[in-house]
Amino acid sequence: MEKLLSPQSLILLIGGALLFGSALTLGVYLFQRSFNRSMKPNKPRPARVRLEDEAAFTLATIKAVVTQLKTEQKATQEKLMAAERRAEENARKFELLAREIDYGLMIFDTEGFLTFSNPLVRKLLAVDTWSRRTYAEILKDIAPLSELVGACFAAGTEVRKKIVELPGSDGCKGRVEVSVLPTRDRTGALEVVACVFRELAPPAPGA
């Protein structure tokens, strides 16, 4: 997978392009003025500008562009830092809330890898969620649940409050009520798949 450029790198790249474009435009302008003078020698001309003055003007223009780019870069970096701080704070609050709710929660990214789970889901499903693995690996022993998550990734299928039986180590089957919910960005592309679990009482004997 190709490594994406960081926002800071993109800013420097765009700034360099703008600086190069400004210098090129100024050079074309000065060349055109000089060419027009040589083509019209009889036309009255204002007092000749010394080469030193033109060089000073060019240097001043370049310095002004660089100063403006640095100012814009600083402002953009400050906005990025503020956005990162808000994102970290929101993530921290979300994790605190997710640990306190009475529902199990698992969140998978666009590639199917687990990115978050709260302690309750590990208790309900009796699965290892500590390592970074895909839903197929984590839920390999709970085929019905793995199929629901897979259908959500493949076709965006949303499931609400479906009862799934879980295999028990003592031969007794447990039950959970599960909702599998996809979330999408503004373009409609899949962002994450969230699975919400609620523990159900075991079925009555003979039921």
Per residue in 134-156, pLDDT (tens digit) is 999 999 989 999 999 999 999 99
Separation of alpha carbons 30 and 24, rounded Å: 10
User: Is 106 in the same domain as 92?
Assistant: no
pLDDT of residue 89 exceeding 50? yes
CB 7 within 8 A of CB 76: yes
Q: Sheet containing 104-108: give its strands across.
A: 114-117, 104-108, 190-200, 174-184, 159-166
- Same domain, yes or no: 135 and 62: no
Task: Give the residue-averaged pLDDT of 66-90.
Answer: 74
CB 121 within 8 A of CB 137: no
Over 60: is that where the pLDDT of 195 sits? yes
What confidence score (pLDDT) does residue 2 get?
45
pTM check: above 0.95: no
Residue 91 sits in the same domain as residue 106: no
User: Alpha carbon 113 to chain centroid distance?
Assistant: 15
Residue 57 tokens, joined: 């003007």
Please say whether the beta carbons of 192 and 107 come within 8 A: yes
**78 and 156 belong to one structural domain:** no
Give residue 12's domain range: 7-40+48-96
* Secondary structure of residue 111 in the 3-state scheme: coil
Dist CA 81 CA 84 (whole Å): 5
Write out pLDDT tens, residues 53-76.
777 777 778 888 888 888 888 777
